[in-house]
Amino acid sequence: MTSTPSSAPYGALILRIALGALFIAHFALKLFVFTPAGAAAFFGRLGLPPALAYVTMAAELLGGLALILASTPARWRWP
């Protein structure tokens, strides 16, 4: 069996960065377009607790950042 270089790590890198950017874009949409209060009101009209909008926004921002920052090579990270 021969050893050939794999492009799987590069594919995973691209997918992690794209998904992280998508999460951050959803957070930005709620922050700048709908405003946090508007997002909370929308969640309330759906029958969900309005405070869940703030939890969702935090999860989108932190999750997106975690996906993007965990994608960087070790030599670029803080010590």
Q: Residue 1 — pLDDT band, cuts 50, 70, 90? A: low
Measured CA to CA, the distance from residue 20 to residue 46 in angstroms comes to 26
Domain assignment present for residue 41? The answer is: yes
Instruction: Convert the pLDDT of each residue in 34-79 to its tens digit.
Output: 999 999 999 999 999 999 999 999 999 999 999 998 866 655 556 5
pLDDT at 29 over 60: yes
Question: What pTM, to 2 d.p., does this model score?
Answer: 0.81
The SS3 call for residue 73 is coil
pLDDT at 24 over 80: yes
Q: How far is CA 51 from CA 8, 14, 15, 43, 47, in A?
A: 40, 33, 30, 8, 12
pLDDT at 28 over 80: yes
Domain assignment present for residue 1? The answer is: no
- Number of folded domains in the chain? 1
Domain assignment present for residue 77? The answer is: no
Domain assignment present for residue 16? The answer is: yes
Domain encompassing residue 32: 11-72
